[in-house]
């Protein structure tokens, strides 16, 4: 499978996960009941900013063979639809880009001059890891950094993107392994992640038992409720590390963690599709997901 095909496979998993997870916001007792009874939401499943930004990354990779930051910033801004659920920080940056301002300045002015360490750079990057899955880890890390910096200047926001991109690439490389990826996969991802809070939080995922209840994992690792990279990426890695190749079962497990469930499901879906293959994504889920402007026609 060539680089673009791998990226599109990951994009399918990411977008289905994103659209699926987004359907499970609402009154908590109703959401929990629907999850426990495995009640699928009515279609169509519209996707969020997670998918919308991932679409731009895949397009830029296809056009340039790597991340061109200026082109990516412009593509993010041109494609942005506020109703997709953009955070205020990303929305402000991309509105500024639309007005002709330099994204390099815009990403620094918020968050007391440190830049965002939210989970937005991580949520969209799995297809990039897939695209470069046959390249050295340094290439994957460098390209993930470039993709993140356009909206996330903080080292932790960048670290989250690097972790997910590396995880996606390693998931593809181990696609023939039938057993769960396990702790060794988490360790490899952690070791490629820059030092800091995100890396430390990934280390904590190694201490959560593979068969721990999801509530226990959430207590230890977070579930994206803080919308930061350290609060989001470790749980996603823990879920994929100990999951079977079943896309459907794993996404139900992910959404049961609640929190920022469209993003956690997007990250998990983008990685897991590289192990399950497109045939592993339930076809009725693909058909329920809002049609993408690129890639598969489902």
Residue 78 buriedness (CB in 10 A; 0-12 / 13-18 / 19+): exposed
Task: Provide the pLDDT for residue 118.
Answer: 87
pLDDT of residue 221 exceeding 80, the answer is yes
Domains of the chain: 3-288 (1.10.4080.10)
pLDDT of residue 297 exceeding 50, the answer is no
Highest mean pLDDT among 67-71, 79-83, 227-231: 67-71
Nearest to 87 by CA among 260, 292, 270, 294: 260
Task: Quote the tokens at residue 101.
Answer: 């301002």
Task: Provide the pLDDT for residue 298.
Answer: 47
Label residue 111 by pLDDT band (50, 70, 90): low
Per-state percent for the chain, helix, strand, coil, to nearest 5: 65, 0, 35
Backbone angles phi and psi of 28, in degrees to 5: -60, -40
pLDDT of residue 21 exceeding 60, the answer is yes
Task: Provide the pLDDT for residue 270.
Answer: 98
Mind listing the pLDDT tens digit for each residue in 153-207?
899 999 999 999 999 999 999 998 888 999 999 999 999 999 999 999 999 999 9
Task: Provide the pLDDT for residue 143.
Answer: 98
CA distance 26 to 276: 30
């Amino acid at each position: 499978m060539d680089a673009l095909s791998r990226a599109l496979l990951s994009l399918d998993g990411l977008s289905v996960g994103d659209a699926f997870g987004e359907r499970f916001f609402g009154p908590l007792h109703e959401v929990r009941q629907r999850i426990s009874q495995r009640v699928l939401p009515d279609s169509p499943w519209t996707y969020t900013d997670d998918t919308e930004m991932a679409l731009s990354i895949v397009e830029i990779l296809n056009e340039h063979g790597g991340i061109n930051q200026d082109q990516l910033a412009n593509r993010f801004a041109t494609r942005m639809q506020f109703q997709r659920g953009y955070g205020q920080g990303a929305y402000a940056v991309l509105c500024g880009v639309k007005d002709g301002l330099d994204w390099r300045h815009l990403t620094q002015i918020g968050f007391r001059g440190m830049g965002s360490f939210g989970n937005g750079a991580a949520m969209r990057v799995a297809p990039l890891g897939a695209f470069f899955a046959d390249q050295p880890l340094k290439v994957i890390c460098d390209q993930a950094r470039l993709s993140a910096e356009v909206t996330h200047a903080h080292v932790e926001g960048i670290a989250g993107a690097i972790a997910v991109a590396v995880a996606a690439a390693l998931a593809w490389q181990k696609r023939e392994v039938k057993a769960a990826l396990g702790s060794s996969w988490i360790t490899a991802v952690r070791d490629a992640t820059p030092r800091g809070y995100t890396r430390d939080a990934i280390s904590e995922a190694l201490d959560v038992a593979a068969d721990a209840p999801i509530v226990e994992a959430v207590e230890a690792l977070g579930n994206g409720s803080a919308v930061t990279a350290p609060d989001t990426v470790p749980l996603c890695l823990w879920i994929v590390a100990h999951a079977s190749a079943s896309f459907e079962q794993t996404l139900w497990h992910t959404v049961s963690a609640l929190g920022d469930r469209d993003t956690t499901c997007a990250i998990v879906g983008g990685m897991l599709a590289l192990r399950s293959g497109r045939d592993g994504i339930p076809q009725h889920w693909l058909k329920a997901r809002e049609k993408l402007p690129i890639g598969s026609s489902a």
